Structure 1
Amino acid sequence: MVRHVVVTPYQETWEQAYRHESSRLLHHVNTLLQSVYHVGSTSIPGMAAKPTIDILAETLSIQEVDSWNQTFEKLGYQPLGENGIKGRRYFCKEDAEGNHLVHLHIFEKDSEEVIRHLAFRDYLRTHSEDADFYSGLKLQLAEAFPYDAESYQYGKSAAVKKIEERALEWWYA
């Protein structure tokens, strides 16, 4: 199935959607998850984004996450294993039409991936020039590649890498 790349202006409802979904997750898997964060573009006020909520969670044991897959499935999440990132457990929640509603990324507590995600988010929340550039780039790429998610991702990759480098330098300063 070809997914349509949709990037929309920031919507305040994204924060509410995160709060609702994170509360729901913690209610059902609170003994598994140590911390839960809203990450990705929907977590950055003013940022254009694909309307998919990214949730990052920390656990004490990444292997233990696999034993909770049935619980996640009952909550509407499809377990996708590492899905290309070593040490991650990735889950996707879709609506009836197959649109991605939530991406759940679980890592072990204090992993470098957690720091990378939080640094990226917090950096863009406080550095409007880079946030505006990144937001505009995503809108342009979505317009140029409305049915080519791979080209959309590739078009962002150099900017993401550069912003990540700045974000980590800022984080550790």
Structure 2
Amino acid sequence: MRTTHVATISFLCLSVWACAGSLETVDTRPIDPVLISPSMAASLDHDGFVPMQVFDLMETESGPVVVLADPDIGTILPIWIGNAEALTIALRLHGEVFDRPLTHDLFDALVRETGAVVAEVRLDSLVGEAFAASVLLESDGRLIWLDSRAWDSIAMGLSPQVPTYA
């Protein structure tokens, strides 16, 4: 089943360079997991998306916040997350491992053992007060989009080789 999403993400851009703006996206990919042929992969574009990096993880009065940033244009995007999610991201940021595998460790092992790699992650749209996101896997020349929560995709993309877009 194909569903077309048209979404406008408006957010407060916080930065030391003091910017304000909005990010408009038009996303026509299926929301169900789907295999994309290599010929379709060549047509993937990032129009309307901004490359981002995890800049910081901080505690606020409202709870933990993961901060994405585009250092080239000085845009910062804060995303409030829960304590368990903050623990996962903090461990990954610092290259530490919990005593027993966490959910993302299990997902990493599953991806690795099947020969797939995380190709990119995207924050696709704003649904209510939460970001919808996706993880793009590459396996044997095929691309597989997986629907995701924002913090899950951010955690999966915490690698220098995995681009993150918002």
TM-score by length of 1: 0.24
Which protein has the bigger helix share? 1
TM-score by length of 2: 0.25
